Amino acid sequence: MRTLVARDLIHREPDPADRRSVRLTPTLGAVHGMARIEEAWAEVFAHALGDLTPRQQAALSAAVPGLRALADALKIRRTDR
């Protein structure tokens, strides 16, 4: 955590409700950095999808609802811990 704070990627502050705890929040720089990474990945995916045949693209499109359901199930499992 100290390294992330030193790199100005997270902000660390005492929890006002419990001074024994701290709150960690991403800084604006971290949020912007993640957005740049996501944009770069989106570009890579867009180019790769363009290389697929129309049939392959249709198969992926048909799988989107199932993939979204899987992502939702994974989020629920992650927050239930």
The model's pLDDT over 46-78, given as tens digits with 9 standing for 90+, comes to 999 999 999 999 999 999 999 999 999 999 988
**Predicted model pTM:** 0.60
pLDDT in the model for residue 81: 63
Inter-CA distances, 44 with 16, 41, 49, Å: 43, 5, 9
Our measurement of the distance from residue 77's CA atom to the centroid of its chain's CA atoms, rounded to an integer in Å, reads: 16
Contact 62, 55 (CB under 8 A): no
User: What are the tens digits of pLDDT across the range 1-60?
Assistant: 899 999 999 999 998 888 889 999 999 999 999 999 999 999 999 999 999 999 999 999
- Contact of 25 with 4, CB cutoff 8 Å: no
